[in-house]
Structure 1
Amino acid sequence: MKLSQLTERCKIVAIHGEENVEVESITSDSRQVQKGSLFIAVEGINTDGHDYIAKAIEQDVLVVVYDKPMFEEYFSRVTYVQVENSAVALAQIASVWYGNPSEQLKLVGVTGTNGKTTVATLLYRMFRTLGYGAGLLSTVTNCVNDDSYPTTHTTLDPITLNSFLRKMVDAGCEYAFMEVSSHAIHQKRVYGLRFQGGIFTNLTQDHLDYHKNMLEYRNVKKAFFDALPETAFALTNSDDKNGGVMLQNTKAKRYTYSVKGLADFKARIFEKHFDGTEIEINGKQLIVQFVGVFNVYNLLAVYGVSVLLGEEPEEVLRILSVLKPVAGRFQTLRSPGNFTAIVDYAHTPDALTNVLNAIHEVLDQKGNIITVVGCGGNRDRTKRPLMAREAVELSNRVILTSDNPRFEEPQDIIDDMVAGLDDEQRRSALSIVDRREAIKTACALAKPGDIILVAGKGHEDYQEIKGVKYHFDDKEELEKIFHTSP
């Protein structure tokens, strides 16, 4: 593709060299540069692509796109394109390279602290069940119709993201549903994509290792809605105090969903069980295979989007009643010893509170709750004491353990969690660094009628320690214990 075509949407400051060269590949990773490549230098969190321009030139790069003026000399065989913002240019170039696929799909983005994976996945399943070609980009997996691909980030880099959207278009998909993380919004990974709609689930503390404070975190989420076009819809949870904030400056058509107040899409809850919940949505009763008020919000969002995309409410409700929970999200396992284990991805204080409250609502003081929980290393440290406190206040026994310690010492992370507890609370909490042993201990402590919650990792099938990912799956560990139990 001609360079002039690729950069037609970019804000160019200066060009040095031949403007009309034929580009054969695009990349923002200097290790992938080949002869004929266009390399976009982007400043990231840990590395700056500008530091690798010389390496790209050594590898016979054709075009360098950058935003920091830094050259004393220019090589005649390379074309240099200085832009206002490299991250924005990367998104624009990636979109053009793949034929602007977001403009050929009905693309819906889901943002918020909790619920993104469940809402995006259930929307994908809903529209596949309705008979449409549909794609999914999520924390758990990426799907193009019935083909699934592994994923590494909640929201992919612009080149990989647009390549998936292209795959979806080529496979005949009409719809695409994706999680949109705050990191992705801030880093312009979704810049320039055309969204048909956006969903806001909720906002609670997370990612304060990245965002300076909750206000900045909220405003980054809001920027997603500010960028939606008039042709799109914006659907927000009006029971969250930030739901209205998301709609303040959006040009999109505004809609709300609620369990507590008036809204376009309204739910009521009647009965709660461990295998489902009896609810009402916009006056129609149904039984769903999901547990907890937080899941009712997720289902409401799915219902609202489906109706806003033109589907018949009755058919949407019928499919909602047969949809099953997403892997690692309130996943229930029954033990031979007549206690129940629940595996959940809850890795923020609010998510943990939601899951424990959901267990309390169904358990109704007829058994004890034993919670196994840890916190990830090299991530927001301020939530560690909060996670421990929520776990202890809402459980009968707590075992603090490792999550993904990454490059931190597991015991140091547990010590940060323990710091949030008073003397009495510390006496009710065990600390077991080895996650496998922590899960075994919880099972040994459980009596018939009790509930074990293993929180924090959910669908993940690994533990990341010192830069290495070792196979580890909470659900697998529980099944092994149940299989060997007398």
Structure 2
Amino acid sequence: MSEKPQSLSLTVLLSPWLDVDFDNTLVSGLTLDSREIKDGCLFAALQGAQLDGRTFIDKAVECGASAVLSETKERGQHGLITLQGNVPVIQVYQLSDMLSELAYRFYFPEQNLHKVIAVTGTNGKTTIATLLANCWNILGKQSAQMGTIGNGLFGKLKSSLNTTLDAISVFSELNDYQQKNVDYTVMEVSSHGLTQGRVSALPFHSAIFTNLTRDHLDYHGSMENYELAKKALFEHFPVKQRFINADDATGAQWLKDFPDAISFGFNAEMLTKQRYLRIEQVEYHGQGINFSFQSSWGQGLISAPFYGDFNVSNLAAVLTQLLAENISIKQAEAVFPRLNAVPGRMEQYYFPNNDITFVVDYAHTPDALEKALTALQKHKKTGRLICVFGCGGDRDKGKRSEMAKVSENFAGKVVLVDDNPRSESAEQIMQDILKGFNNPARVTVIHDRKEAVLDLLDNALPGDIVLLAGKGHEDYQIIGEQRIFYSDRALLASLQCTYNKNNKADL
């Protein structure tokens, strides 16, 4: 086990980058946030896009920092040292690029990190990470996860603002898990996290690729750049196992680029050096799905309480990783029926008095919305499929009309609601979405999500399935500069307690 060092000399910590003589300056912690400074901490003052950490150096010194690394954009200033009292302030060129390795050296000086599994792709990361952590837990392995719905031991997550934490927090969390005897951490790795070097020093045990569809173009600029950001995980990291979705067009190409990768999906096949897991027959029923498979490890049948082809793909990714870790097919077949629902991912809320089912899902891209709707079509027996969604402000505007087209093509009724308008006008966002409909007059606009849910409960027909998309696990809305509490899941759970008894909401 690697234990967090009580202290490490600044000389030793910085030796890969700087030859400095500070053997008597001991570092007992690392932080990017001056508000978290404790005696002995090293403060990394980055020049961020919104805040310049260098403006907080004085505060960090006052709070007990033992040393400060101050980011400089000038190569010639690298290594320059000034003293504030007895505290060295060291100029470091491109400090953000070295933070990941710096944190790895500090938190894992013996370099014996437990197994960390990376999951990347546009859609499915959270589901795969959660289900895989759930599987390890059922199999008697201590597991943790890091990602969109939080970080921590499985079932004990702490919320997080970002899918992938900052470079220092990543290793701080992993060190904490290691002290709790975690065998596996399953981490969602975002394209932002990869591009910004937040995990650049992390020696991943394995990496799973789900798919690539339009998202984050406001940041990456093009699909080509977005793909390259994701591919870096497979190309530039020393991962021991690569798992790639053979059903995705990008994944199919990557399987050619990485001849030792393991393929999974409906189109997976045995290639020269590759192991594989191919999905065979799939059955959809009211309680979930069954699918048979052929693989390099043998054949079997999986049953699980989830909906849709995309969850078949997610389950196949999880299954392939388990089999590659020498979990037997018999063990896997016993585990999958016991898996828990993933918060905000195709999560059902049934109202028997009305015979209406609401399904909460995080789908916030055109591809994810289409997959959620087509999944529900296969499970729907009677009634209509109703799609409720909105689009976030200050984000990729191009996907607004695309999501409109998807909802119009795959749902019988569409209701537009607010997502996170942020600094944009909610009304303008609605107008952008409406431009994507062939027949916008048939679309209902109700800005308030709670009001839309109550309206559907009063007016939907027996057998209707309502997809409430976009928020998923989130428990807030961002309107202007305000972050207010709101949760689709909490609202529906509350309504179930009253509406099913009285057939009338009493809120």
TM-score (norm 1): 0.91
Residue 141 of structure 1: aligned partner: 150
Residue 427 of structure 1: aligned partner: 441
1:64 aligns to what SS in structure 2? strand
Residue 281 of structure 1: aligned partner: 293
Q: Do structure 1's residue 66 and structure 2's residue 71 form an aligned pair?
A: yes
Alignment of 1:294-305 (within 5 A): 294-305=310-321
The one-letter code of the counterpart of 1:238 is A
Q: Do structure 1's residue 240 and structure 2's residue 244 form an aligned pair?
A: no
CA shift, 1:287, in A, is: 2.2
Residue 265 of structure 2: aligned partner: 258
Change (3 A) 1:421 1:2: same
For 1:436 and 1:102, how far apart are their aligned partners in 2?
Answer: 50
For 2:326 and 2:55, how far apart are their aligned partners in 1?
Answer: 49
Alignment of 1:202-351 (within 5 A): 202-229=211-238, 232-246=240-254, 253-262=260-269, 264-282=276-294, 283-335=299-351, 336-351=353-368
Change (3 A) 1:351 1:36: same
Q: Do structure 1's residue 472 and structure 2's residue 486 form an aligned pair?
A: yes
Contact 2:281 2:293 survives alignment (8 Å): no
For 2:72 and 2:148, how far apart are their aligned partners in 1?
Answer: 30
2:224 aligns to what SS in structure 1? helix
Contact 1:235 1:255 survives alignment (8 Å): yes
Alignment of 1:71-110 (within 5 A): 74-75=82-83, 77-99=86-108, 103-110=112-119
For 1:341 and 1:427, how far apart are their aligned partners in 2?
Answer: 24
Change (3 A) 1:59 1:476: closer
Residue 173 of structure 1: aligned partner: 182
* Superimposed CA distance per residue, residues 188-238 of structure 1 (whole angstroms, 9 cap, x where no aligned partner): 1111111110000000111112111111010000011112326x1000001
Contact 1:443 1:452 survives alignment (8 Å): no
1:469 aligns to what SS in structure 2? strand
The one-letter code of the counterpart of 1:259 is F
2:112 aligns to what SS in structure 1? helix
Residue 387 of structure 1: aligned partner: 403
Paired residues in the alignment total 478
Change (3 A) 1:66 1:280: same
For 2:437 and 2:415, how far apart are their aligned partners in 1?
Answer: 13
Q: Do structure 1's residue 460 and structure 2's residue 474 form an aligned pair?
A: yes
For 2:180 and 2:22, how far apart are their aligned partners in 1?
Answer: 36
For 1:36 and 1:28, how far apart are their aligned partners in 2?
Answer: 14
Contact 2:54 2:70 survives alignment (8 Å): no
Change (3 A) 1:441 1:237: same
Residue 429 of structure 2: aligned partner: 413
Contact 2:10 2:23 survives alignment (8 Å): yes
The one-letter code of the counterpart of 2:178 is V
* Superimposed CA distance per residue, residues 258-289 of structure 1 (whole angstroms, 9 cap, x where no aligned partner): 11342501112432123211211223223221
TM-score (norm 2): 0.88
Contact 1:68 1:82 survives alignment (8 Å): no
1:103 aligns to what SS in structure 2? coil
For 1:284 and 1:435, how far apart are their aligned partners in 2?
Answer: 43
Q: Please, which runs of 5 or more residues in structure 2 have no aligned partner?
A: 1-7, 271-275
Change (3 A) 1:301 1:63: same
The one-letter code of the counterpart of 2:333 is L
1:256 aligns to what SS in structure 2? strand
Match of 2:457 among 443, 462, 468: 443
Q: Give the % identical residues.
A: 34
Change (3 A) 1:322 1:187: same
Contact 2:211 2:250 survives alignment (8 Å): yes
The one-letter code of the counterpart of 1:277 is I
Change (3 A) 1:447 1:259: same
Contact 1:221 1:246 survives alignment (8 Å): no
1:453 aligns to what SS in structure 2? strand
Contact 2:416 2:430 survives alignment (8 Å): yes
CA shift, 1:362, in A, is: 2.0
Contact 1:373 1:455 survives alignment (8 Å): yes
CA shift, 1:21, in A, is: 2.1
Q: Do structure 1's residue 360 and structure 2's residue 372 form an aligned pair?
A: no
For 1:43 and 1:247, how far apart are their aligned partners in 2?
Answer: 39
CA shift, 1:5, in A, is: 2.2
Runs of 4 or more consecutive aligned structure 1 residues displaced over 6 Å after TM superposition: 70-73
Residue 30 of structure 1: aligned partner: 34
For 1:142 and 1:102, how far apart are their aligned partners in 2?
Answer: 22
1:47 aligns to what SS in structure 2? coil
Residue 12 of structure 2: aligned partner: 5
For 1:190 and 1:397, how far apart are their aligned partners in 2?
Answer: 43
* Superimposed CA distance per residue, residues 445-484 of structure 1 (whole angstroms, 9 cap, x where no aligned partner): 3100111110001111222223332221112323444423
Contact 2:45 2:68 survives alignment (8 Å): no
2:202 aligns to what SS in structure 1? coil
Q: Do structure 1's residue 124 and structure 2's residue 133 form an aligned pair?
A: yes
Change (3 A) 1:131 1:34: closer
Residue 5 of structure 2: aligned partner: none
For 1:120 and 1:102, how far apart are their aligned partners in 2?
Answer: 24
For 1:383 and 1:415, how far apart are their aligned partners in 2?
Answer: 13
Residue 49 of structure 1: aligned partner: 53
Q: Please, which runs of 5 or more residues in structure 1 have no aligned partner?
A: none
1:148 aligns to what SS in structure 2? coil
When structure 1 is superposed on structure 2, of 351-360 and 371-380 the one drifting more is 371-380
* Superimposed CA distance per residue, residues 293-335 of structure 1 (whole angstroms, 9 cap, x where no aligned partner): 0000000000011111121122012211221320111111111
Contact 1:340 1:450 survives alignment (8 Å): yes
The one-letter code of the counterpart of 1:293 is D
* Superimposed CA distance per residue, residues 404-439 of structure 1 (whole angstroms, 9 cap, x where no aligned partner): 2222222122122112223x2x01111111111122
Contact 1:403 1:463 survives alignment (8 Å): yes
* Superimposed CA distance per residue, residues 7-51 of structure 1 (whole angstroms, 9 cap, x where no aligned partner): 234x44x86x84752223321223434554322233434334345
